[in-house]
Structures are given as structure tokens and as C-alpha cells.
Amino acid sequence: MNKKMIQDTQEVIEEVMKKEGISRRDALKLIGLGSAATMMGGVTSASAATEARAASSAKGKIVIVGGGLAGMSTAARLAKNLENPDITVIEPNDRSTTYQPGLTLIGGYTWTDQDIVYKTEDYVPSGVKLIKDRVVEFDPKANKVTTAGGQTISYDFMVIASGLVLDFGRIKGLEEVGELYTAGHNQKAADVFGKSGAGSIYFVEGAMKVKENLHNFIEAAKSGKKVQGVYTHPNTPIKCGGAPKKIMFLTDSNLRHAGARENAELTFYPNGSKMFGVPEYNEAIFKLFEEKGMKYKFSHNLTEVDLAKKIAVFDHHWKEKGEYDPDLEEYDMITKHERVEVPFDFLHITPPMKAPDEIGKSPVGSSKGWVPVDYRNGTLQHIKFKNIFALGDVAALPLGKTGGSARKQYKVVVDNLIALMEGRELTAKYGGYTVCPLITEIGKVMLAEFDWSDPANGKFNGKMIATLPLRPDEPHWAYWLLKVYLLKPMTQYGMLRGLA
């Protein structure tokens, strides 16, 4: 942590403590959460150490497709747990281990790209081979993959951790932005947004654009102009479901700090009809929206953006009763649509997302385009090909595409893969743990931890859980410390090293 970060922390904490009436003594007690942070999800560095066991002598060539957070952490842990590791990571991006959860803090707080961009080569575990290329073909029956550069690589076991693709090109007017990877080199894509006020924290240069846009938005509000902030959430699964709202809460908070909140109208336009899939968090977020005067219009899917005219176009959809079916004694339900044009001064776009086509549409993909794994038994083993596992954003799981989920999944994959190599039963299970630290203002975060309520009975709804001694559905400054100062080192020095 550098000097400026320490000063920033002190300022934010002092301000929140004053507002909350918290004494320094209580604050110190809660700071104990810092060490507890490493326990989130039941994982401590101490437990990682006690987990250390004799390395397995199992043999086999392991190929990992994708060297982002999930893939590189898996490689690191496998390398530690195998006596003679033969591990190859295939990853085209030279900054794949970039810290993506920090993107929100670029767009809406003081961080910059310098705080989050990390070089892949600095995180390749010792003994692991890196091939800087993209897999373009999968032949799981012959246990082979082919790369864009024309190499054919065979394997005994494969782990797919390719993350997902941002599909901006699906929105009319953003065809030039096209398909992007969050940590790719995407300056040209960010430049497409120009001075329109539109942008997205879902990629690095996009987050820098959002920072610039937010500054201009706040300056306009400060000058007395009445301004409109518009925030979207698409009709596909997305990574970090909280991020579209985090950037909205941060806009609200920045406007308040600037004394210009009354000049801005902030409206959330999600495709769905809830704030969050878990009832407690859903309710808590509704309350916060009300308290902060933030508006929402459900069932609006962003389909078009006119950057020159600063207009966002939505497909507003709803159901209406159609014909009555006397045999079934019910009405047909018909989906109706209307085109809604919304002018904006600031637009935050959460783009549609999908698995990379070369994976989703390949023999290892599923009809919905993600990689199907056995989540009912929690093993994360591929449904069809038993020597393949998948984890992270590309895995077809019912909930939670977050780094917090991947942090639980990669240990399960490593344990089960080694069990498979040794000819043992797969006993490690992923129970759906997800954490989504939802920033609700500068200085406060709602932790939003959940897992699957009753997977054994085929139900995979999110259930609120708490691994720290504070309510996870109440915003708290201690969670801000966790989010802003602890989770990044924990990821870089713990998870990516196969430890935390």
C-alpha cells in the first residue's frame, strides 16, 4: 500500500467514523476483520498451510486453457501439489492476471489502470509452461487442442478457464467496439465512445473512460446544469452482477461529495425485475435506492446507443394476457415490446456477455454456450468428458461469475483432478459460494455473500451467508477496507500463488 493510499484510507475512515459516531476503540476492534478477511469463504493462509500435504506422485499432462484468475491460480496450486507437474497454460493476453475487481474503483474512485494491470509472465508458477496463443479448436475425443498459431497440443487432462467475452457488438451503434476481453488491450474500443459520456468499467480502458466521463458529469452538475445518469444491465449472465449498481452508487456518492447531487437524476435500467437474486440483498438494495433518491425502471434491455445524439435505446418488455385456453383454464401470456429512447449525459453500459465462441460453440460447450460441468454433485467435472474440468466465468453454473466464486472453485478442481489422476473418487465439492462486495458509497460496502441453498434437492437459489462477524446485507466501513485494501493483495499474493 503506498503513502497516498494510506492517506486516502485514513480520510475515508475518519469521515465515515464521524458520520456513524464510531469511537477509535470500536474501530480498532473491527479492524480485526482485516485478519478475518483472509478467512472469507473459510480459507486462511494458515489453513492453506495446514492443507499442505505430501505432493502427489500422480502423472499426466495437464493443459489449462486460459491463464486469467481461475486458470493461473489452478496452475499454481497444481504445481504445488504434484511431485512431477507437467502443466501447460495456453493464454494469449500478456496482462491476463490483471485485477478486475479494481475496475469499479477506477471508474468511480481514485484508482487508475496502474493499480490493477499485472503482467501474465509475473504470475506463471515455477515449473509451469506458458504458451502465448489462443485455443481455436477442441477435439476432446482425441484429447487435443489446436491454437490460432497452428500448434496441436495433446493432453491427458484439461482445465478450461477461458472467462467470458464482452459482446458490445450486439448493441446497435457499438458494432465498432465489437467483442472484447476485460483485460485485453482495448484503447481503440474506448476511443469509440469519444466525448459522448458513454463508457463501461467492464474493460480497463473503458474504466478510464468512465472516470473521465464521471468527472465531466459532476462538473456539469456542479455548474448548475440538470444532468441525467443512465445505468444498464443486459439480458445475459454477466460477471460481477453487482458492478452495474456499484458504479451507480459511486456516482451518487461522488455527486454528494461535490455538493451537486440535487442536479442529477440517476436511473438504473436493468433487463430483469430484481435488484439481486438473493432476497435479503434485493430488499437492502431497494432500501438504499430509496434513501439515496436513485431511480429504477425494470425490464429494459439496452439495444442501441446513438453516441452522437447521446440517446440510449431500450427494448421495454412486459407480459400481457392473451387468449384464454378453456382446456388448461389459463391465459396464454404474450410478451409485448416498446422502444424507449432515453437521453443521457452519463451512460454506464454493462454489455451482453457470452463464452468465447471457439469454446461455447465447440464440442466442449453446451447448447447455451457455456462449458457444462457437474455442479449438482459440486465436482466441476465436465458433463461429457471426464478428463476435463471447467471453472470461473466460463463454467455453466447457476449463480455467481465472480473472483470470489473462482477462489472456492479452483481448490475443488485441483483436489478432484488429482483424485482422478490417482484413480480415486472425486470428493471435493463446490457449494456455490459467491461474494460480491457491493460498494454503496465511498467508505461503505455491503458484502453480499451467498451460496446455493439446497443443491442436493435440485434447488440452486442464492442463500445469504455470513463468514465475517457483521451482517453481510448492511453496508459497513470495515467491508470497504476489505474491498479496497485487502482483497487485492489477497488475490495477487494468495490466490494467484495457489495459496488463499
Could you say whether residue 66 binds ligand FAD (CB under 6 A)? yes
Say how far apart CA 103 and CA 113 lie, in whole Å: 8
Query: In the bound complex, what is the minimum distance in angstroms from residue 253's beta carbon to ligand FAD?
Result: 16
**For strand 227-233 and strand 346-348, is the pairing parallel, antiparallel, or unpaired?**
parallel
The one segment of 172-180, 225-233, 235-243, 468-476 that binds ligand FAD by CB under 6 A: 235-243
Which H/E stretch holds residue 198? Answer: strand 198-199
- Exactly one of 36, 364, 406, 464 binds ligand FAD (CB under 6 A); that residue is 406
Pairs from 143-152 (Cβ < 8 Å, separation ≥ 24): 143/387, 145/63, 145/65, 145/90, 147/90, 148/92
Interface positions, 416-475, toward ligand FAD (CB under 6 A): 437
Query: In the bound complex, what is the minimum distance in angstroms from residue 103's beta carbon to ligand FAD?
Result: 4
Q: Residues 354, 237: contact at Cβ < 8 Å?
A: no
Could you say whether residue 241 binds ligand FAD (CB under 6 A)? no
| Closest to ligand FAD by CB, 80 or 245 | 245
Q: Residue 315 to residues 229, 271, 321: CA-CA distances in angstroms?
A: 18, 9, 19
Interface positions, 138-197, toward ligand FAD (CB under 6 A): 161-163, 181-183
Query: In the bound complex, what is the minimum distance in angstroms from residue 74's beta carbon to ligand FAD?
Result: 9
Could you say whether residue 211 binds ligand FAD (CB under 6 A)? no
Say how far apart CA 284 and CA 157 lie, in whole Å: 44
* Nearest CA among 132, 96, 136, 86 for reference residue 116: 96
The one segment of 190-198, 236-244, 330-338, 473-481 that binds ligand FAD by CB under 6 A: 236-244
Interface positions, 121-140, toward ligand FAD (CB under 6 A): 134-135
Query: In the bound complex, what is the minimum distance in angstroms from residue 120's beta carbon to ligand FAD?
Result: 8
H helix count then E strand count, the chain? 14, 26
Say how far apart CA 74 and CA 414 lie, in whole Å: 7
Handedness of CA 116, 119, 124, 129 (dihedral sign): positive
- Exactly one of 85, 92, 199, 237 binds ligand FAD (CB under 6 A); that residue is 92
Interface positions, 382-401, toward ligand FAD (CB under 6 A): 392-393, 401
Could you say whether residue 362 binds ligand FAD (CB under 6 A)? no
| Closest to ligand FAD by CB, 101 or 197 | 101
Q: Which three cell numbers stand for residue 3?
A: 503513502
| Closest to ligand FAD by CB, 167 or 221 | 167
Say how far apart CA 308 and CA 328 lie, in whole Å: 51
| DSSP single-letter state for residue 260 | -
Helix axes 243-257, 279-292, angle to 10 degrees: 30
Could you say whether residue 40 binds ligand FAD (CB under 6 A)? no
The one segment of 59-67, 220-228, 303-311, 381-389 that binds ligand FAD by CB under 6 A: 59-67
Could you say whether residue 199 binds ligand FAD (CB under 6 A)? no
The one segment of 37-45, 85-93, 121-129, 444-452 that binds ligand FAD by CB under 6 A: 85-93
Say how far apart CA 95 and CA 121 lie, in whole Å: 8
Query: In the bound complex, what is the minimum distance in angstroms from residue 145's beta carbon to ligand FAD?
Result: 8
Say how far apart CA 85 and CA 75 lie, in whole Å: 10
Say how far apart CA 120 and CA 115 lie, in whole Å: 15
| Closest to ligand FAD by CB, 90 or 220 | 90
Could you say whether residue 205 binds ligand FAD (CB under 6 A)? no
Residue nearest to ligand FAD (CB): 68
| Closest to ligand FAD by CB, 170 or 488 | 488
| DSSP single-letter state for residue 86 | -
Q: Residues 226, 344: contact at Cβ < 8 Å?
A: no
| DSSP single-letter state for residue 271 | S
Q: Which three cell numbers stand for residue 14?
A: 475518519
Query: In the bound complex, what is the minimum distance in angstroms from residue 214's beta carbon to ligand FAD?
Result: 14
Q: Residues 35, 485: contact at Cβ < 8 Å?
A: no
Could you say whether residue 76 binds ligand FAD (CB under 6 A)? no
- Exactly one of 202, 217, 268, 289 binds ligand FAD (CB under 6 A); that residue is 202
The one segment of 34-42, 46-54, 99-107, 225-233 that binds ligand FAD by CB under 6 A: 99-107
Residues that bind ligand FAD (CB under 6 A): 65-71, 90-93, 96, 100-101, 103-104, 134-135, 161-163, 181-183, 201-202, 239-240, 243, 356, 358-359, 392-393, 401-404, 406, 437
